[in-house]
Amino acid sequence: MIHARQGMSSEFEAKHAVSTVLSHYGSRDVISTGNALKAIRVMAPLCRETDEDIVGLIVSEATGRTMSVVFDHR
C-alpha cells in the first residue's frame, strides 16, 4: 500500500514538473526531450519515473499544447 502511494506521488510530481517546464514554451515551439528531461530532473530530483515515462508525459502534454517534440534524450 505504501508503494502505491509513493508511486502516485512520484507520477503526480512528474506531471507537475512536465507541465511547469513546458509552460515556459509557446505553442508551435519545438521541445527537446533531452533539455526537458534535464530541467525536470533538476526540478523534481526525487521523482522515480523513468526517463521513458517522463518522455511519454512530455509528448502528451506538448501535443495537447500544439508543440512539436524532438527526441534527442539518448
C-alpha cell at 51: 526517463
Type of residue found at 46: L
pLDDT band of residue 15 (cuts 50, 70, 90) is: very high
C-alpha cell at 1: 500500500
Averaged pLDDT for residues 8-34: 92
pLDDT digits (tens, 9 = 90+) for 33-54: 999 999 999 999 999 999 999 9
pLDDT for 9: 78
pLDDT for 10: 83
CA distance 9 to 57: 15
pLDDT for 1: 35
pLDDT for 56: 97
CA distance 11 to 32: 21
